[in-house]
Amino acid sequence: KAGVTQTPRYLIKTRGQQVTLSCSPISGHRSVSWYQQTPGQGLQFLFEYFSETQRNKGNFPGRFSGRQFSNSRSEMNVSTLELGDSALYLCASSAGQKETQYFGPGTRLLVL
Amino acid sequence: GNSVTQMEGPVTLSEEAFLTINCTYTATGYPSLFWYVQYPGEGLQLLLKATKADDKGSNKGFEATYRKETTSFHLEKGSVQVSDSAVYFCALFGGSTLGRLYFGRGTQLTVWP
Residue that wins the pLDDT comparison between A27 and A98: A27
Q: What is the pLDDT of residues B17-66, one digit of tens each?
A: 999 999 999 998 889 999 999 999 899 999 999 999 999 999 999 999 99
* Of the partner residues A97, A98, A100, the one whose CB lies closest to the CB of residue B49: A100
Query: Given this model, what pLDDT does residue B76 score?
Result: 98
Chain B residues touching chain A at CB-CB below 8 Å: 32, 34, 36, 42-46, 49, 89, 93-94, 97-106
CA distance to partner chain B, nearest, from residue A97 (Å): 5
Give, in order, the Cα–Cα distances in Å from A49 to each of A99, A101, B55, B86, B87.
13, 13, 29, 29, 27
Query: Given this model, what pLDDT does residue B95 score?
Result: 64
Beta strand A74-78 pairing with A19-24: antiparallel
Number of Cβ within a 10 Å radius of residue A29? 20
* Of the partner residues A31, A42, A56, the one whose CB lies closest to the CB of residue B103: A42
CA distance to partner chain B, nearest, from residue A21 (Å): 15
Let me know if B79 is exposed, middle or buried by CB neighbors in 10 A (0-12, 13-18, 19+).
Answer: exposed
Q: What is the pLDDT of residues B57-82, one digit of tens each?
A: 999 999 999 999 999 999 999 999 99
Read off the amino acid at residue A11: L
Residue that wins the pLDDT comparison between A98 and B13: B13
Q: What is chain A's mean pLDDT, rounded?
A: 95
Q: Is a pLDDT exceeding 70 seen at residue B96?
A: no
Query: Given this model, what pLDDT does residue B1 score?
Result: 84
Q: Is a pLDDT exceeding 80 seen at residue B97?
A: no
User: What is the three-class DSSP state of A83?
Assistant: helix
Q: Buried (b) or exposed (e) across B13-46, using 16+ Cβ within 10 A?
A: beeeeebebebbbebeeebbbbbbbbeeeebbeb
CB pairs under 8 A between A and B: 58
Q: Buried (b) or exposed (e) across A88-105, using 16+ Cβ within 10 A?
A: bbbbbbbeebebbbbbbb
Query: Given this model, what pLDDT does residue B98 score?
Result: 74
Chain A residues touching chain B at CB-CB below 8 Å: 4, 6, 31, 33, 35, 42-43, 45, 48, 50, 55-56, 58, 90, 92, 94, 97-98, 100-106
Inter-chain residue contact A104 with B43, CB threshold 8 Å:
yes
Q: Are B81 and B111 in contact (CB under 8 A)?
A: yes
Q: What is the pLDDT of residues A66-84, one digit of tens each?
A: 999 999 999 999 999 999 9
